Chains A and B, each alone.
Chain A
Amino acid sequence: MHPFAYVAPVTVEEAVAVLDKHGDRARPLAGGTDLLVKTRANVWELDAVVDIKNIPELMTVTVGNDGLSIGAGVPCYQIYENSEVAAGYPCIVDGTDIIGGIQIQSRAALGGNLCNAAPSADGVCPLIVHSAVAHIAGPGGNREVAVEDFCTGPSQTVLKKGELLVSMSMPKPPANFGAAYTRFIPRNEMDIAVAGVAVSLVLDPSGQNFESARIALASVGPVPILATAAGDSLAGKPVNDESIAAAAALARDAASPITDMRGTIEQRRQLIEVLTGRMINKAIERARG
């Protein structure tokens, strides 16, 4: 492991300055559950590790009438144990409480999960179906990027030299909204997704028709995939097996998996279809309360 400097700034500006100075030889440290592994394995050779946990706006969860904002360094357990988050954003809880075990969840941050940009990330698809936006600070000022556009490839993101993810925010869900995330893993816990599906949807007041839907897919492409056609196919359709099966088939088409040690192309496509159907049904259940 290459020796590095440990920096613990207390403002976003200081953090950005250090990151800008070192470029890709510096990385922000939130929970460290990916950073420590990659650094010890010499995947990253770092000169500076920038601990962002002393910066207040990166460590805050805010739930209000305008929606939910989660600081980039907030650990998973502070998200899923927040009763307001659990009540209004159950899909975010679905994702954060299956990342690793208790020890990992006590440190790992949802923002870190996003910046790590693994196609299999359990935290990212829930953000996408909640229409979350990433708030980025950088030497050139602040900007916002839709979460579905944040990852650009395995371990690659839109973050430029010196830029830091500050928070993710998402609008307050409308009435008759439901959302859910699940993944397929060979074991029951402590595993990495072979395929994952998040679904959010809005039903009409009768609860019998879809008004809109968003479907996002994990682990079946170089980045988490927003399956637009699959989600859009549900808009205006009645809630029945046929419309759900059609959306599931479109989600399957949107997947572009590879064969690797975790699963084959065919297995992953089928899993996407199966899990999409299951998550649409679970989201309907939640939407109907």
Chain B
Amino acid sequence: MVATFEPKTDYKVIGTRPIRHDGYDKVTGRAIYGADLTLPGLIWGVCVRSPHAHANIKSIDTSAAEAMDGVFAVITGADMPEAPDKLVDLGEGNVNFKWASNKLMAGDKVVYRGHPVAAVAAVDRYTAEEAARKVVVEYEVLKAVTNVVDALAPGAPIVLEDLVGDDLGEDVTNTNMAEHIRHEFGDVEGAMASAAHTIEREYNMQMVHQGYIEPHNATAVWDEEDRIKIWTSTQGAFTARTQIAGILQVDVSKVKVTPLEIGGGFGGKIPVYFEPIAAILSKKSRRPVKMVMERVAVFETTGPTPGGRMIIKLGADANGKLVAATADIWFEAGANPGAVIGPAAMCVYAPYEIPNTRIDCWDVVVNKPKTAAYRAPGSPQVAFAMESAVEELCQEAGWDSMQFRIDNSSREGTRRGDGVLFSKIGMEEVLEAAKNSDHWNAPLGDPPAGKKRGRGMANGYWFNIGLKSSVNLAVNSDGTVMLIEGSTDIGGTRVSMAMHVAEVLGIGAHEVRPSVVDTESVGYTDVTGGSRTTYATGYACWIAANNLVDELKKRVAILWDISEDDVEFSDGVFSSKAESEKTIDFKELAGKLADLGGPAISTGSVDLESAGDGFGLHIVDIDIDTETGKTDVVRYTAIQDVGTAIHPSYVEGQLQGGAVQGIGWALNEEYYMEEDGSMANSSFLDYRMPTSLDLPPIDTILVEVPNPLHPYGVRGVGETPICPPIPAVANAINDAVGIRLYNTPMNAGSIMKALSK
């Protein structure tokens, strides 16, 4: 059963903006990230990587590396345990241990450039790098496939010979097509045929990377009891443990993962990369082994989110109501199956009520890095296609596209493209806020000489997830509370969690001291991802805090020698129902606990199926230099239903960060692939993410439609904001200079080319 809550507004702590508990450590450099860790006797591990995107391994000769002074261990794919062909749920996405193991260290074939073929552990990093260069690998180079069209063409090189694809339930072999799914509702063909206006367009996107600043890292100790200790920067210590244990074929209780501070993840730090390799190197060398990835390898071997091809067809009646839609979506999985086609299908039509819909999605294997979750995985791509098509449909039919979005908005009871019915959602409220916003109603203004200005907008959606979280609370004698949680803190969740507890206990946010701990110090907790942490771990905090109140009532009952049923608690003060002048506040009680039964502790845990859907709309003004094609973003507003903003600064930060990543994706970011399957721009110089100098202030409008599924009305907020920017920018480019771009990135070269036609 799902509990529901009435919306409240009279909060004391929630909605305020306390300084985050980890703030001082992070701005002063005291916080310990993965690369900062050191242990007695620590040695360094380095991977030997394939220079080819697709090749058979003929032989590997590690003898020269092993003979080098200072080298303690060399491993190859032969040292990897045989992992089972078994799919395991990681919360946000799945892992198949066989593929995951193969991704980390090649067997007899490399399937992406940078694919590790061996690893070396040596006394220091440079010795390990030198030794790695002495490993001699003989390859038989194969033709690489780097996009979905080539991969599905007849006679295409096959990336994984043993892949059995699932084509709407039918097994297929000798293919790069891992999965084909379909969702269909209503009479799509009939409705489309009856539509007064239709539009059909194809969109193509390049793979992009999450672009976290901190590279992947892991430090491992495999001890004499075969216990494996791992320190790593991860979005989820427990899901890292699941993967490490599965790949190493040991029980989860043999693996202890200590999450260190994390320098960005955006979904890309859910999969493990170095952890099992460092563990095997440690087992072989009997020393702690540390590995830190180079930036080139971060780009070439971790992370990205799929590029691909999409065809959208929309049909509307003469009154501007959508009657039918079809979407055909081909996504690049990378070198192993698992592109995010399921979420793409869930998201593509979500902002709209459309009675007749069909979605076909294909998961296609190519010789590129295995894709990972990236902020609303799959949704920005389909938002680009859908929101571009909606805008063009409105243009052709002569409709106001804001009114069209309002008239066709999804609402409570609307059926999503994959069949799910929406509960209470805030799409209509977001549209209303957008329509009435200062930005939408402001005149465009004049661009500088030589430039043209345009405005665009687009919707975006992410479904948000719930899942499992655990927290422990303990009261200190000085009236503070220790909060022990398993959710790694990427976006300020320590303070949001503390605020949940503080609100219940009637104390200040800084009187709660949150700690993110290892997998042996708290109950199972799913990843920080899927926009779930404030929702689900916050919910667990609320439960634990209420349990703590119950426990403390017992202590008050001892103090006053009354029944615990006669103790009331409100605003941080316990009182007697019978004698209202008898009161004791939380802090005073904390000081007396030693004589009232000893330490007071509590726990809270949740497993939440539903989370509450998130909708947003962004408005962007851009200037285009018509001679060079350069785009400047000059004004930006992100509007989103955030449920309840626990800590508004971090909610605004999520909206701003998502918008910035989306702007980068829209304008410049891409995996620029050479014919041979190598990425030409595997550096932050040439993988052009926006810097602070490329962006205006990102204004935010927080629409609060409390989520009835959470005690304080929280909705996930982190992912929705990366969905609208790409189509919003495309629509603004169209408004500024009249061209319509169907491919990303929409960089200066593409704009110049389109303008010269």
Contacts and interface: CB of A to CB of B under 8 A. Distances in A.
A280 to B, nearest CB: 14
Interface string B659-676: 000000001100010000
Residue among B690, B747, B749 facing the most chain A CB atoms (10 A cut-off): B749
Contacts of B24: none
Contacts of A3: 126, 130
A270 B691 contact: no
Given A189-B691, A191-B688, A261-B681, 14 more contacts: A41-B296, A184-B748, A186-B630, A186-B667, A186-B668, A187-B668, A187-B690, A190-B691, A190-B693, A191-B685, A261-B686, A262-B686, A263-B749, A267-B753
Among A2, A186, A263, A264, the one with the most B-chain Cβ atoms within 10 Å of its Cβ is A186
A260 B753 contact: no
B189 interface: no
Nearest to A259: B749
A266 interface: yes
Nearest to A187: B694
Contacts of B686: 192, 261-262
A59 interface: no
A160 B685 CA distance: 30
A262 B688 CA distance: 10
Counting chain B CB atoms within 10 Å of each CB, the highest count among A187, A263, A270 belongs to: A187
A266 B691 CA distance: 27
Contacts of A188: 632, 691, 693-694
A148 B752 CA distance: 30
A260 B681 CA distance: 10
Given A190-B691, A267-B749, A260 B680 contact: yes
A186 B753 contact: no
Interface in B708-757: 747-749, 752-753, 756
B132 to A, nearest CB: 10
Contacts of A263: 749
B627 interface: yes
Contacts, number: 57
Contact of A270 (B296, B668, B693, B752): B752
Interface of B: 126, 129-130, 133, 296, 627-630, 632, 667-668, 672, 680-681, 685-686, 688, 690-691, 693-694, 747-749, 752-753, 756
Interface in A233-289: 260-264, 266-267, 270-271, 274
Interface in A65-92: none
Contacts of B129: 1
Interface residues of A, number: 24
Nearest to B127: A3
> Which 8 residue pairs of A and B lie closest in terms of their CB atoms, listed nearest first?
A261-B672, A261-B680, A267-B749, A274-B627, A188-B693, A261-B681, A189-B693, A1-B126
Contacts of A274: 627-628
A62 interface: no
Contact of A42 (B133, B685, B749): B133
A83 to B, nearest CB: 26
Nearest to B629: A267
B184 to A, nearest CB: 40
30 contacts: A1-B126, A1-B130, A2-B130, A3-B126, A3-B130, A42-B133, A184-B628, A184-B630, A186-B630, A186-B668, A186-B688, A187-B688, A187-B691, A187-B694, A188-B632, A188-B694, A189-B693, A190-B691, A194-B748, A260-B680, A261-B680, A261-B686, A263-B749, A267-B629, A267-B748, A267-B752, A267-B753, A270-B752, A270-B756, A271-B628
A246 to B, nearest CB: 17
B114 to A, nearest CB: 14
B741 to A, nearest CB: 15
A192 B680 CA distance: 14
A190 B685 CA distance: 8
Contact of B747 (A42, A186, A260): A186
A187 B693 contact: yes
A270 B755 CA distance: 12
A44 to B, nearest CB: 14
A2 B131 CA distance: 10
A264 B130 contact: no
Contact of A266 (B632, B690, B753): B753
Interface in A91-127: none
Contacts of A191: 685, 688
Which of A261, A262, A274 counts the most chain B CB atoms within 10 A?
Answer: A261
A39 to B, nearest CB: 11
Nearest to B674: A261
Contacts of B688: 186-187, 191
B647 to A, nearest CB: 31
A189 B296 CA distance: 22
Interface string A25-54: 000000000000000011000000000000
A1 to B, nearest CB: 5
Nearest to A270: B752
Interface in A177-226: 184, 186-192, 194
A189 B632 CA distance: 13
Contacts of A267: 629, 748-749, 752-753
A3 B123 CA distance: 14
B379 to A, nearest CB: 25
Nearest to B680: A261
Contacts of B691: 187-190
Contacts of B133: 42
Contacts of B667: 186
Nearest to A1: B126
A207 B627 CA distance: 28
Contacts of A184: 628, 630, 748
Contacts of A2: 130
A185 to B, nearest CB: 9
Contacts of A41: 296
A189 B685 CA distance: 11
Nearest to B667: A186
Contacts of B747: 186
A263 B630 CA distance: 13
Contacts of B756: 270
Nearest to B133: A42
A1 B126 CA distance: 6
A266 B694 CA distance: 25
B297 to A, nearest CB: 12
A105 to B, nearest CB: 15
B387 to A, nearest CB: 23
B546 to A, nearest CB: 50
B581 to A, nearest CB: 65
A270 B629 CA distance: 11
Contacts of A187: 668, 688, 690-691, 693-694
Contacts of A186: 630, 667-668, 688, 747-748
A59 to B, nearest CB: 28
B410 to A, nearest CB: 36
A76 to B, nearest CB: 17
Contacts of B748: 184, 186, 194, 267
Contacts of B693: 187-190
A184 B630 CA distance: 9
A119 to B, nearest CB: 15
A192 to B, nearest CB: 6
A235 B378 CA distance: 58
B672 A264 contact: no
A186 B126 CA distance: 35
A270 B628 CA distance: 8
A189 B681 CA distance: 17
B49 to A, nearest CB: 12
A189 B695 CA distance: 11
A121 to B, nearest CB: 14
A15 to B, nearest CB: 25
Contacts of B694: 187-188
Contacts of B632: 188
A79 B753 CA distance: 38
A186 B753 CA distance: 15
B380 to A, nearest CB: 20
